[in-house]
Amino acid sequence: MTTTARYAFDADTASTRLGEHQYGLELSQRWRALGGHVNGGYLIAACLQALHQEIPHPDLLAASAHYLRPAMPGPARIHTDIARIGRRTATGQARLTRDDREILRVLATFTDLATADGPTVLRDDPPVLPPPERCFDPMAVLRPPEASIADQVEFRMPQIPGFWHGTPTGASFDEFWMRFTDGRPADPIALALLVDAAAPVVLDLGVVPASATVELTVHIRNRPAPGWLACRVATRFLIDGFHEEDFEIWDSMGTLVAQSRQLSVIP
CA 19, chain centre distance (Å): 28
Q: Phi and psi dihedrals of 72, rounded to 5?
A: -105, 160
Beta-carbon contacts of residue 208 (< 8 Å; ≥ 6 apart): 266, 267
SS (H, E, C) 124-185: CCCCCCCCHHHCECHHHCCCCCCCHHHHCEEEEECCCCHHHHCCCCCCCEEEEEEEECCCCC
- Is residue 74 classed as helix, strand or coil in its secondary structure? strand
- Is residue 258 classed as helix, strand or coil in its secondary structure? strand
Return d(Cα 167, Cα 162) in angstroms, integer. 5
Closest C-alpha to 204, from 248, 241, 165: 165
- For the chain, count helices (H), then strands (E): 3, 13
* 79 touches 95 (CB < 8 A): yes
Give 29-34 contacts, CB < 8 A, sequence gap 24+.
29/73, 29/148, 30/148, 30/149, 30/151, 30/152, 31/148, 31/149, 31/152, 32/73, 32/146, 32/147, 32/148, 32/149, 33/147, 33/149, 34/144, 34/146, 34/147, 34/199, 34/209, 34/210, 34/211
Return d(Cα 206, Cα 22) in angstroms, integer. 42
Q: Read off the DSSP letter of residue 32.
A: B
**pLDDT given for residue 1 in this prediction:** 39
Mark the ranges of the chain whose per-residue pLDDT is less than 50: 1-3
Return d(Cα 138, Cα 147) in angstroms, integer. 13
Closest C-alpha to 25, from 49, 57, 54, 56: 49
Domains and CATH numbers, the chain: 8-113+129-265 (2.40.160.210)
**pLDDT given for residue 5 in this prediction:** 76
* Other C-beta atoms lying within 10 Å of the C-beta of residue 44: 29
**pLDDT given for residue 165 in this prediction:** 87
